[in-house]
Structure formats: structure tokens, C-alpha cells
Structure 1
Amino acid sequence: MSDTAATLTQDRQKLEMAALSAPAVVLTVAMIAFPVVYTIWLGFQTFSSTGKQSFAGLANYSKLISDYEFWHGLWITIALFVLSLVLQLVFGVWLALVLHAKRLPGIVRSLFISPFMMPPVVAGMMWLVILDPSLGAANYILQSFGLPPSDWLASPTWVIPTVALIDSWQWTPYVALIVLGGLQSLPPSVYEAAQIDGASPFRTFQRITLPLLLPTIVTAAILRSVDLLRFFDIIYITTQGGPGNASNTLNIYGFRVGFEFFNIGYASALMLTLTAIVFGAVLAFNRLRGAVAW
């Protein structure tokens, strides 16, 4: 009888906890589901210049196939994603190794990781001033070394690398923080065995640290991929998709279509396509993480 009473008590407690948490769960699901469902519905609608709405079927999605700006925006999005992710992973791992190896004061560590805590608006405005072709500090430094000045954000050739560098400056410390947590969880016995065997620091990193860190690095890549594929704030503040359409990512293009040209149906189709790309990238990285897990 006592076991039965204990089981009933546990079941009652579970039901009470479920009842208490149900309103929060329902509200959270509704807040996520409603915008998604509404956007899907808008993707099948068309809007006239007078605001009249009508059902368009798959017309918005078929339009994507022949839309040059869509394919251009997709290419810019992928190029910026790959370049930024590579820079952030490489320098993030390096910064994590530096922070892990050197016992730096807390204030120094805080300075290293402070950029990603800065609001993107502030970071964008700051770099807009630094990279100003006429008065910015970046060209002043180049000229002080005898190098020619650059147009930076005003150059179709350099705008994507420049935006990637700005984003990498801000978010590399975030990657480093994730990797640093992975470094601190590695088993010390492996390093003791490598030291006894006389392995060099580079060989230790190559054969031990990097393979053991791969799941953590892929996790950092997943978290950054979600942000990089829907990259908007820094680009809008610094270039607004320019010069011309040189930095016109899918996010910027969708924003313009929806809020400048008021084609809400086509903008919804663009954003849903971008959402599918984000999900695809996350699933691919999740599969990779399962393959490198130890």
C-alpha cells in the first residue's frame, strides 16, 4: 500500500507541475507558432498597390526562380556566411587557447570578450566612423604605413570582406567563450600522457586538443550559423545593402520588398525560403556534430 500511495503522490505532483507550467507553455508555443503560421499564409497572398489582398497560390515562390535579386541575395548571404564563420571559428579557437594558456587578470578577460556584449547598432555606428574613407582611423593607419587608402564599405569589391571582419570582431569572443568552456572540460590525463611521450605543443594541439574540441567547435558553428544566415543589423546600419546591391543579402532584400515596396506576400516567401536555408544548415551541422562526437 505504501508503494501505491507513493506512486499516486508522485503522479499527483507531476500533474500539479504540468498544470502550473501549462499556461506558460501554451503562451510560448502560441507566440512562436502564430508568426510562423501567419507568415506562411502571407506567402500565398498577393497585395496590389491599393492594398487589396488576394490568394496567389504558389506564384510568389515561382517568382523566386526567375528573380535575379533573389539569386544575387542568396549568393551574397552564402559568401558572407562562409567567410564570417571561418574567421570566427579560426580566431575564436585561437583566442580560447590564449585565454586558457595564460592566467590573465579578470579585467583583461572581460576586455577580450566585451565586443559581443555591445549592441549591434553601437558596433555598426562605431565601425562606420572608423572606416570613413576621408576621416576614419582605418585609412589613417594604412597611410601611416605607406599603403593606399581603401573605400572599405563603399567598394563593391571590399564591402563583403569588410562586413565579415566587423561581424567577426564582434562575435569571435562569443565563439572563444564557448571553446574555452570546452577546453576546461578536457581530461588532463590525456595531456599528461602526451607530455610523458614528449609530444610538442603543436603535435598535442593537432592530435589531441583539436579532435577533442571538434564537437564544441561544431556547436559554436551551429549557434553562429543561425545568426549569420539571417544577418541584418550591421549591414543595414553600415551599407543598407550597398554600394548598389553588393551587400544586398536575402534579409536586406526581403526587408526592402516588404517595407519599401509593400509586397508583403513576396517578402514572406523570401523570408520563409531563408528560414528553410537556416534549418538546413542547422541540420547539416547537427549531423556533423554527431559524426565528430566522442
Structure 2
Amino acid sequence: MSSPSPARTGSTPRPAPPDDTKLALLFIAPAALGFLVFLVWPTVRGIYLSFTRFNLLRPAEFVGVDNYTRMFADPVFWNALWVTLQYVVLNIGFQTILALVIAVMMQRLTQSTWLRGLILTPYLVSNVVAAMLFLWILDYQLGFGQVVLESIGLERIPFLGSADWAIPTIAFINTWRHVGYTALLIFAGLQTIPETVYEAARMDGSSEVSTFLRITVPLLRPILALGLIITVVGSFQVFDTVAVATQGGPVNATRVLQFYIYDLAFGRFQFGYASALSVALLLVLMAVTFVQYRLTRADSTDLD
């Protein structure tokens, strides 16, 4: 007795799906090319230049670790690193707390799309424009902000002209610009928390503060960790606001590391030494990001 034909049993093999590898590589190629040309190659070139003496007027001269030895003995470098750390702590503190408050208020009071767009508006303003705006508002002689202070009985404050006020003021300016983006990021995280969790907490008699600290914050941990990593890396690279508002003054009070690197490279043409400081900044950012990632457990969530 003959076996049933494939046509009758429905066992005809299906054609293999088309191989889209070449098409995928074609779409990836522009981004990969840009990544290699504008990120990988400058990084490799910068690491090489950090071991040389180079000023554009003559070929790079290999000097080994002399630039790094100079860096460890450079008091301006250590001051720039300390000033940068102060700025990062203030900026992250202001930005995270304000963004969390704004996000929770949007979640509890209104989820208006128009309001979200309004909150995001400062983020659409460039750092240079924001710095120029607050430079005018906070000007000691003619600033509108100084007039407001006097109208409520306070003395004028040299926000950008005082060593004590300059870094907190720059941190506030950049907080104003970026807090909307961070708030919307946290707001998106709040949307992922099931309402049933809050209903269970209310049934157990949990207060608003207790619910926020014991439920909302732990469940937001991955989003908060992502926001912290993004904002910390961005804060370490602050440059525009300092370059426009204070130029590193008064007396190096706002000479952050990025501005010092720029001054060495394009002001003094010490590209080798500037590259060494850039490599040091890269290593600091890698270490900070790794520590943040491990401490915050950004790769896991309590919702699972």
C-alpha cells in the first residue's frame, strides 16, 4: 500500500523566509559610519595624542606619560575637578528633586498634553541662549532679578560675580533648562506602575507619604537610575553655560574641567595635555557610570 502524498497530508515544506541581513546592514551602515567617524576615531586619536606633545605647528612628539605626570601635579586640574564635582552634586540634587515633584504633580493633578509641552519648553532652548538670558536677568546693575530682590527688601546678590554664588547659580540655570525633560522621563515611569498597587496600599491604610516612599520610589528605581546616569554624565560635561556666563571666573571659581580642557586646547594650543585631561574625564565618567549602575540596580525592576 503506497504512502499518502505530501499534497494530501499538508506536509509540503514551506519556503524559507528571505534573508534580510544585507538590507539590515544597508540601513545600519550610515549610523555605523557616523559612529566610527565621529566617536570611535576621535576617541582613539585623542588617547594617542594624550601621550604626545602636539600644538598644530609641528608633528606630534611622543612623550610617554609626561602629560599624565603633569596632570597629577597640576593644581588647576584638581581645582577644576573639584569645581566640577560641586556643580554635579548641586545640579543633580536640584534637578532630581524638582523633576520628581513635577512628575508626581502631573500624575496626580493633571495629565494634560498641553502642560507637558509647556514643561518641556525650556529644554528646547539652547544652553547658550539660556546662559545669555539669565546673564541679563541676574546682572548686578541692570538685572530684573536684582530689582525683584530689592522690591522684597533684600540686598542685591552678585550671582555670577561671586565665588560663593557662581557655581550654585550655574547649577540652577541648567536645572531650569533640563528639569522638564527629566520630569517627563519620570512621569513616563509613573505610568508603568499599576493602579492596583496603590489601591492595595489604600486598603491597608497607607498614608500618601508612606505610599510614595515605600511604593512609588522603589518601583521608579530603574527610571530614576537611568535619569541619574544621563544627568550625571551630562553634568560632568558642562561647558556652554560657563563659557558664556563666567568664562571660568571669578578666580577659577567656575573653571570646570571641560572649560579647562577647551582653554588648554584652543586657547594655549596644548593639544597633547588637553587630550590627557580628556582621557582622565572619560575614565571618571566610566567609573561613575559603573558605580551608579551597580548601586541602583538599573537592570532590574521590582514590578517583576
Structure 1 residue 18: deviation in Å?
4.4
What residue in structure 1 maps to residue 131 of structure 2? 124
**Residue pair 2:122, 2:178 contacting (<8 A) in 1 also:** yes
> Is 2:269 the counterpart of 1:259?
no
Of the three residues 8, 20, 24, the one matched with 2:26 is 20
| Residue type of the alignment partner of 1:147 | L
Aligned to 1:245: 252
Contact 1:218 1:288 in 2 (8 A): no
Instruction: In structure 2, give the amino acid aligned to 1:69.
Output: V
Sequence identity, in percent? 34
State the match for 2:76 in structure 1: 69
The letter for the 1-side match of 2:36 is A
Q: TM-score, normalized by length of structure 2?
A: 0.90
The answer on whether the counterparts of 1:73 and 1:248 sit within 8 Å (CA) in structure 2 is yes
Which residue of the partner structure matches residue 97 of structure 1? Answer: 104
| Distance (whole Å) between structure 2 residues aligned to residue 227 and residue 288 of structure 1 | 19
Aligned with residue 272 of structure 1, among 256, 259, 279 = 279
Q: Which amino acid aligns with 1:228?
A: S
Cα distance in 2 between the residues matched to 1:141 and 1:29: 48
User: The residue matched to 1:152 in structure 2 has which SS?
Assistant: coil
Aligned with residue 199 of structure 2, among 178, 189, 192: 192
User: Alignment partner of 1:199: what SS?
Assistant: coil
Structure 1 or 2: larger helix share?
1
In 2 relative to 1, CA 134–14 (structure 1 residues): closer, same or farther, beyond 3 Å?
same
> Is 1:146 aligned to 2:177, yes or no?
no
Measured after TM superposition, the shift of residue 287 of structure 1 is 1.2
C-alpha displacement of 1:17 = 3.0
* Number of matched pairs: 290
- Stretches of structure 2 that go unaligned for 5 or more consecutive residues are 1-10
Amino acid at match of 1:15: T
Give structure 1 stretches of 5+ with no counterpart.
none
Structure 1 residues 70, 212: CA separation in 2 closer, same or farther (over 3 Å shift)? same
RMSD between superposed Cα atoms in Å: 1.9
Q: Is the 8 A contact 1:44 1:55 kept in 2?
A: yes
The two structures have a TM-score, normalised by structure 1, of 0.92
Q: 1:42 aligns with which of 49, 53, 56?
A: 49
User: Match for 2:119: what amino acid?
Assistant: F
2:36 to 30, 39, 43: 30
Between the aligned partners of 1:30 and 1:50, the Cα distance in structure 2 is: 27
Aligned-pair distance for 1:185? 0.7
